Amino acid sequence: MKMAAPISIHLEFGGGAELLFDGVKTHHVTLPSQSEPWDVKQLLEWIKANLLKERPELFIQGTTVRPGILVLINDADWELMGELDYKLQDQDNIVFISTLHGG
Amino acid sequence: MEQDVARIIAELTAKEKEVADLKAKLEKLQKDSHTTASLHPMEDISSALDHLRKKASLNNDEIMRYSRQLLLPEFGVKGQVNLLKTSVLIVGCGGLGCPVAQYLASAGIGRLGLLDYDTVELSNLHRQVLHGENRIGWPKAFSAAESLKRLNSTVECIPYHMQLTPENALQLIQQYDIVADCSDNVPTRYLVNDACVLSGKPLVSASALRLEGQLTVYNYKGGPCYRCLYAKPPPPETVTSCSDGGVLGVVPGIMGCFQALEILKIASGKDSSYHQQMLLFDALEGRFRTIRLRPKQNGCVVCGEEPTVKSLVNYEQFCGSTATDKCRRLCLLTSDKRITIQEYKQILDDKIPHLLLDVRPLVEFNICCLSSSINIPLSNLEQCKPEDIALLKEKMREYKRNLQSPVQVYVVCKNGNDSQKAVCALQKMSGSELDSLEAKDIQGGLMAWAEKIDTKFPQY
Q: Is residue B228 part of an annotated ligand binding site?
A: yes
Q: Could you give the percent of chain A with pLDDT greater than 70?
A: 98
The correct answer on CATH 3.10.20.30 for the domain covering A7-98 is: yes
DSSP string, B267-296: HHTPPPTTBTEEEEEETTTTEEEEEE----
Say if the Cβ atoms of A68 and B235 lie within 8 Å: yes
How far is the alpha carbon of A73 from chain B, nearest alpha carbon, in Å? 10
What pLDDT does residue B39 have?
41
Nearest CA in chain A to B325: A102
Closest by Cα among A82, A72, A65, A81 to A10: A72
pTM of structure? 0.86
The H or E element containing residue B255 is helix B250-268
Q: How confident is the model at residue A1 (pLDDT cuts 50, 70, 90)?
A: low
Calculate mean pLDDT across residues A19-26: 92
**pLDDT tens track, chain B, 460 positions:** 788 888 898 899 888 888 888 888 877 776 655 544 444 444 467 667 888 877 789 999 999 999 999 999 999 999 999 999 999 999 999 999 999 999 999 999 999 999 999 999 999 999 999 999 999 999 999 999 999 999 999 999 999 999 999 999 999 999 999 999 999 999 999 999 999 999 999 999 999 999 999 999 999 999 999 999 999 999 988 888 888 899 999 999 999 999 999 999 999 999 999 999 999 999 999 999 999 999 999 999 999 999 999 999 999 999 998 888 777 778 889 999 999 999 999 999 999 999 999 999 999 999 999 999 999 999 999 988 999 999 999 999 988 887 777 899 999 999 999 999 999 999 999 988 888 899 999 999 999 999 999 999 999 9
Calculate mean pLDDT across residues A34-60: 92
Whether omega before B406 lies within 30 degrees of 0, making that bond cis, reads: yes
Q: Is residue B95 part of an annotated ligand binding site?
A: yes
What pLDDT does residue B42 have?
42
Ramachandran region, residue B31 (left: φ > 0; alpha: ψ -120 to 50; beta: rest): alpha
In angstroms, the CA B200 to CA B32 distance is 38
Whether residue B179 contacts residue B196, with contact meaning beta carbons closer than 8 Å, is answered with yes
What pLDDT does residue B452 have?
95
Q: Is residue B116 part of an annotated ligand binding site?
A: yes
Say if the Cβ atoms of B383 and A53 lie within 8 Å: yes
Residue B291, chain A, CB below 8 Å: the answer is: yes
How far is the alpha carbon of A71 from chain B, nearest alpha carbon, in Å? 10
B 304-363 residues with CB < 8 A to A: 325
Whether residue B400 contacts residue B371, with contact meaning beta carbons closer than 8 Å, is answered with no
Calculate mean pLDDT across residues A69-81: 97
What pLDDT does residue B400 have?
84
Residue B202, chain A, CB below 8 Å: the answer is: no
In angstroms, the CA B102 to CA B108 distance is 10
Sketch the domain layout of chain A as residue ranges: 7-98
